[in-house]
Structure 1
């Protein structure tokens, strides 16, 4: 995902790699340590100096928003990638696991992210639409392959995934989250043609 500097110019390849790596590391740090994750630790883990982090992301809130945008886009794009490499029902299950990871990152940034989304309702609605579209693609492909039942509303499935994340969203609850995803998948596949 190409980025630009403040003047709208494209970043050099090395600067783009630093940008992408910072966002990747920030997502992991926010998921593990919350919004108070150390920016120095993020820069160090990304292999850049703290000055590079601050040049790209002058405030914590800007880093949180960029991480949210990046993780949202990455998750949504992964639906098509997964479909190219595995049967649709398997792609659906893997995507749902990734969605839970995405929600863990989002939860870690909750306080800072709340301020960003309160000030930018369009971003919240656009992101929700992108997520529903990505899940809708996976459900349609699975339905066409006869592996999930027809007529499923992707917005309903997103809500079910959100419920799983509320119940079993912590890292130490991976087994429970997996079992709950299995139950959800059983409900989605019940009555499919298979």
Structure 2
């Protein structure tokens, strides 16, 4: 077995073991620090910067994440989980169309924060092989539920493929520059307005709901 595959195997095995309370705290601190450092410096940021921000030693970081790719993949999975889970709270606090719009904005922020991740995902590293599947397995059902609720309420038309919409927005979200994010928000609003049309006539219920945000 190659050194790289052996490292991936060790990482997967370690991730299945229950962590002690102190080890769990260290892991949470490392993942949160990595998320912030990746946002500002990209996924190739120095590991020592992540360890320093997390308040742990380099050795502690490497024991849990032997390869940089292990850390990047773990941060990605955790953020996917958090982004998908926020749909529940957003839906509970807003009407269907507004919930759809707000969650898609959250999704835009998620994508914008992944500086350098696209290149990493296509690097051929085995640690990243399962991430596209993980992405779709979490985000497609989340968006499908939001779309179904908005359709059932009469606020948008039907037959919208969740993956098509995820990809369309993904193609717009290629930077974490604040001006570009605001531009993506504006394009999203145009997309949402387009979903409100049926046979060239904007749905009355959707029109009042959207502009009442």
Give the TM-score category using the shorter length: 0.7 to 0.9
Alpha-carbon distance in 2 for matches of 1:7, 1:179: 40
Q: Which runs of 5+ in 2 are unaligned?
A: 1-11, 206-213
Number of the residue aligned with 2:186: 179
**Do structure 1's residue 91 and structure 2's residue 99 form an aligned pair?**
yes
Q: How does 1:1-194 map to 2 (within 5 A)?
A: 6=14, 8-115=16-123, 121-166=129-174, 170-190=177-197, 191-192=202-203, 194=205
Alpha-carbon distance in 2 for matches of 1:130, 1:165: 19
What secondary structure is seen at the aligned counterpart in 1 of 2:173? helix
Alpha-carbon distance in 1 for matches of 2:124, 2:180: 28
Q: So what's the TM-score if we normalise by structure 1?
A: 0.82
Q: So what's the TM-score if we normalise by structure 2?
A: 0.75
TM-superposed deviation, 1:60: 0.8
Alpha-carbon distance in 2 for matches of 1:30, 1:56: 18
Q: Which moved more, 1:37-46 or 1:114-123?
A: 114-123
Alpha-carbon distance in 1 for matches of 2:155, 2:203: 5
Q: What is the total number of aligned residue pairs between the two structures?
A: 190
RMSD: 2.6
Bigger radius of gyration among the two:
2
Residue deviations 1:91-143, cap 9 Å, x none? Answer: 22222122122222334223333236767644422422321111111111222
What secondary structure is seen at the aligned counterpart in 2 of 1:82? helix
**Conserved 8 A contact 1:64-1:113:** no
